[in-house]
């Protein structure tokens, strides 16, 4: 009999991954180890984000901190920890990072069977204002043979081929949201345990919301479909209430809110950015995957985001994602403007 209200049978991210692995007969444990390395990178970044203000003070009078190390910007530090954790896992064949122009190669003898793309620190313009930021990652199985060495083609797979994707949000608490093919689960970092605990099992996005999220400052560049849709959300003519606007400017935070509360997030193509702003491999694919697996929808305006077959690792696309009814509404407007 329990004497306290404290739960001693908590579910950690590692416990869930090991459990999932045990359900698959031929599982090698590689995927569990790969995700363990990502988990470690996210914990490291979370701890550095919380100390960023202090670390900056340490480096205030020059470029060195109290121990004589170079003070690195958080996005560079985050990139390094992702690369080091993934490379040393021995489970990755090749990687792509927002912070590196070229694919990040791994010595052939250390190459594993997975391919990972990541945005180590998303929303970095928000760091100095203490506003939520995040990390985003996407995982595929490599296509090339293990003996030959991975190539860029391993990274240029479509979004339908993803085997997992997720993000970590460094906000008032640290949340890791992950989908390994089935349900979307949300974990919260318990800093005293250093463990991600399952707090949001099987997240389902509401079918419709009442929040829209877009950089309204770009409205002069919007195409007619976006203008018409946003006008309808602000000045509804069908007797419904206007939508609220929320825009943080960190995709991770804006999509996370959309996932939990419903509504729509848009970073569409426009006259200034005809190919969109956000990157396919490490921003749009993983977020579209999570949103779809939670029962929502993610489109570019022309097709579903996950159907894109990227031609380069830093390719961009428009993205409109969120509640299925909200996204379908603008999708239908796009069709009338074709």
Catalogue the active-site residues. 69, 75, 98-99, 119, 121-122, 283
**Per-residue interface string for the shown chain with ligand AHG, residues 263-282, x marking contact by CB under 6 A:** ----x---------x-----
For ligand AHG, give the closer residue by CB, 131 or 197.
131
Per partner kind, with CB cut-offs from 5 to 8 A, the member of ligand AHG, Mn ion, none near residue 250 is: ligand AHG
Q: How many of the other CB atoms lie within 10 Å of CB of 218?
A: 17
What DSSP character marks residue 110?
A: G
What x/- string results for residues 44 through 63 when contact with ligand AHG is judged by CB under 6 A? --------------------
Q: How far is the CB of 139 from ligand AHG (least distance, A)?
A: 19
DSSP string for 177-246 = EEESSS-EEEEEEETTTTEEEEEE-S----SS-SEEE--GGGGGG--HHHHHHHHHHHS-SSSPPPPEE-
Q: Is 180 near ligand AHG (CB under 6 A)? A: no
Our CB check for ligand AHG shows the closer of 267 and 334 to be: 267
Question: What is the distance between the alpha carbons of residues 128 and 167, in angstroms, rounded to a whole number?
Answer: 21
Q: Which residues on neighbouring strands pair with residue 177, listed in sequence order?
A: 167, 186
Strand 264-267 relative to strand 211-213: parallel, antiparallel, unpaired? parallel
CB atoms near residue 53 (< 10 Å): 11
Binding residues among 199-228 for ligand AHG as defined by CB under 6 A? 215
Which residue is closest to Mn ion by CB? 122
User: Minimal distance in Å, beta carbon 212 to ligand AHG?
Assistant: 14
CB of 212 to Mn ion, least distance (A): 20
- Which one of 20-28, 32-40, 168-176, 246-254 is the stretch in contact with ligand AHG (CB under 6 A)? 246-254
Contact 113, 56 (CB under 8 A): no
What CA–CA distance (Å, rounded) separates 192 from 176?
Answer: 16
Nearer to ligand AHG, 125 or 240 (CB): 125
CB-wise, 272 or 337, nearer to ligand AHG? 272
Could you give the CA distance from residue 133 to residue 314 in angstroms, rounded to a whole number?
20
- Residue for token pair 């043979």: 145
Among 111, 135, 157, 250, which residue sits at the site for ligand AHG (rule: CB under 6 A)?
A: 250
Q: Which of 103, 112, 123, 318 binds ligand AHG (CB under 6 A)?
A: 123
Beta carbon of residue 98, minimum distance to Mn ion (angstroms, whole number): 5
Shortest distance (Å) from residue 217 CB to ligand AHG: 7
Report CA-CA distances (Å) from 69 to 58, 266, 294.
10, 40, 43
Strand 164-170 versus strand 133-141 pairing type: antiparallel
Q: Which is nearer to ligand AHG, 58 or 247 (CB)?
A: 247
Contact call for residue 177 and ligand AHG (CB under 6 A): no
Q: How far apart are CA 199 and CA 119, in angstroms?
A: 24
Tell me the window of 20-28, 123-131, 168-176, 320-328 that interacts with ligand AHG (CB under 6 A): 123-131
Q: Does 124 bind ligand AHG (CB under 6 A)?
A: yes
Give me the residues that bind Mn ion (CB under 5 A), please.
98, 119, 121-122
Q: How far apart are CA 153 and CA 164, in angstroms?
A: 18
Q: Kindly list the residues in this chain that would bind ligand AHG in the complex (CB under 6 A).
A: 98, 119, 122-125, 215, 249-251, 267, 277
């Amino acid at each position: 009999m329990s004497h306290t209200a404290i739960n001693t049978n908590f579910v950690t991210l590692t416990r869930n991954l090991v459990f999932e692995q045990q359900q698959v007969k031929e599982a090698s444990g590689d995927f569990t180890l790969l995700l363990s390395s990502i988990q470690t990178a996210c914990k490291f970044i979370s701890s550095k984000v919380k100390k960023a203000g202090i670390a900056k003070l340490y480096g205030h009078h020059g470029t060195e901190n109290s121990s004589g190390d170079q003070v690195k910007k958080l996005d560079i530090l985050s990139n390094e920890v992702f690369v080091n954790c993934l490379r040393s896992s021995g489970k990755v064949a090749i990687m792509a990072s927002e912070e590196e122009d070229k694919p990040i190669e791994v010595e052939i003898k250390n190459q594993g069977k997975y391919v990972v793309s990541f945005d180590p620190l998303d929303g970095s313009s928000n760091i100095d204002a203490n506003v939520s930021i995040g990390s985003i990652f996407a995982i595929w199985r490599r296509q090339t043979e293990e003996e030959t060495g991975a190539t860029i083609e391993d990274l240029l797979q479509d979004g339908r081929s993803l085997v997992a994707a997720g993000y970590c949000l460094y906000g008032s608490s640290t949340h890791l949201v992950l989908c390994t093919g089935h349900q979307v689960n949300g974990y919260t970092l318990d800093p005293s345990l250093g463990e991600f605990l399952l707090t949001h099992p099987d997240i389902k996005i509401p079918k419709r919301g009442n929040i829209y999220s877009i950089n309204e400052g770009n409205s002069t560049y919007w195409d007619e479909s976006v203008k018409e849709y946003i006008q309808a959300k602000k000045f509804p003519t069908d007797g419904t209430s206007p939508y609220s606007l929320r825009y943080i400017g960190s995709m991770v935070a804006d999509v996370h809110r959309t996932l939990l509360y419903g509504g729509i997030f848009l970073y569409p193509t426009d006259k200034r950015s005809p190919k969109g702003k956000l990157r396919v491999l490490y921003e749009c694919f993983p977020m579209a995957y999570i949103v779809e697996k939670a029962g929502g929808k993610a489109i570019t305006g022309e097709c579903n985001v996950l159907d894109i077959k990227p031609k380069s690792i830093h390719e961009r696309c428009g993205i409109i994602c969120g509640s299925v009814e909200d996204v379908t509404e603008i999708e239908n407007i796009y069709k009338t403007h074709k």
